[in-house]
Amino acid sequence: MSTTSNTSARSYRVINPATGEPGDEFPVATDAEIQEALAASQSAFESWREVPIEERGRIVTRVAALFTERKDELAAIITEEMGKPLPESAGEAEYCTDIFNYFATEGPSLAADQEIKAIGGGRAMIQKLPVGPLLGIMPWNYPYYQVARFAAPNLMLGNTIVLKHAESCPKSALAIQKIMDDAGVPSGVYQNVFASHDQIADIIADPRIQGVSLTGSERAGAIIGELAGKNLKKVVLELGGSDPYVVLDTDDVKEAAANAWATRLENTGQACNSNKRMIVSDGIFDEFVAELTNLAKDLKPGNPAEAAEGTYAPLSSRSAAEGLAEQIQDAVSKGATLHAGGTLQDGPAAYLAPAVLTGITPEMRAYREELFGPVAVVYKVGSDEEAVKLANDSDYGLGGAVFSTDVERARKVAQQLEVGMANVNGVGEGADIPFGGVKRSGYGRELGPLGMDEFVNKRLFYVAD
């Protein structure tokens, strides 16, 4: 995953990627404000963990309701901040309702004591207890959803949260804080901080912080992982992805290509688990690429606040668009075929025409690097074995999907994918479905039952006969 953050941010600032125009700006917190937040988080933890989980659930349920009640306001904010098409922005807010409701409902059973067999006698059980204040470092591509999947299970567990959002998303960060406050989350339990990168290092080192969750780039993950390890803190890292999307066969190539294209353009291609590598059997490859090209070639830049049919939205920033254009140009200069799109509109806006690329080879940046934007990279393979080999020839291991009219054939291929999420004839997503990867895509899981299993003290409680 890409990030717009820099290592010496002096403020949190909105720059509308559809226009390049600057918007609201907020100063970085003072060191004294950071210390106040840490003290408040620790103090709040002492009381929040004692609140019965059912009562915490009632507050989290109110958080859930407010995301949908305020979806129009929330949607307008992130469309301005990072260019997400307005309908998708509203959908993201509503998805947060699903996530908070899931953990409010399922949390008590997921966190319940689990009795285990004590072969030597006595009674033994595993308890899931809160560990204390946590630091969340969140990205810009899903400003609400990313926070929800970290915050919801940990609020239910009784942990407290210090949240550092992306520098480009201050208004959405403040909107989340207001939801928490208005829902009755006690003071200090959830706190947004406009922290600098130097302050983040200090927060991780602080003995009151018991764990860190980061969603971001490999580079950010390496830095945060090192800081967490140095300070003996538990860390969850959700990093980049270059997911294989394997089409072995289909009864309708046009429909298969349309589905693949729609998946790739979700959030203007800026999703960690997007289908960044389409691996297509040689018998349908030419028709598949032709259909993708038809879908891409007539798209025009549009206002994401209007999201008119036949238009595409900007990327999150001008620098993101320029970086993606450089990756495309590198591939073309080394022999790849650009079938459509890939043109960068003159600045200061962040529009890059959705592209279709074939002929990618290992010496090109696009073979190894994540393309975080609307680029369909399509590979031709002649066998299932070749598809598996290519799918696994990646530094990433977030997700992957395999499609075939023969479900058992698809299952066999999907079983061999070196990923954290393997899918057959669709992609499993939802508040109840765990999310996370392996290899350089990070470690740890969010959402679903596993989402409440990361930042807990899995305490043994043993009573002798």
Q: What DSSP line would sit under 416-432, residue for residue?
A: T--SSEEEESS---STT
Residues with a catalytic annotation lie at 238, 272
Question: Which residues lie below 8 Å from residue 399, measured CB to CB, with a gap of 6+?
Answer: 241, 243, 273, 419, 420, 421, 422, 423, 427, 437
Q: Euclidean distance between the first and final Cα of the chain, in Å? A: 53
Of the candidates 95, 74, 51, the one whose C-alpha atom is nearest the C-alpha of residue 184 is 51
3-state secondary structure (DSSP) of residue 35:
helix
3-state secondary structure (DSSP) of residue 380:
strand
Q: Which amino acid belongs to residue 264?
A: R
Run of H or E residues at 407 = helix 407-414
Displacement of CA 307 from its chain's centroid (Å): 22
110 and 449 Cβ atoms separated by less than 8 Å: yes
Question: Which residues lie below 8 Å from residue 422, measured CB to CB, with a gap of 6+?
Answer: 399, 400, 401, 402, 414, 415
Q: Which amino acid belongs to residue 242?
A: S
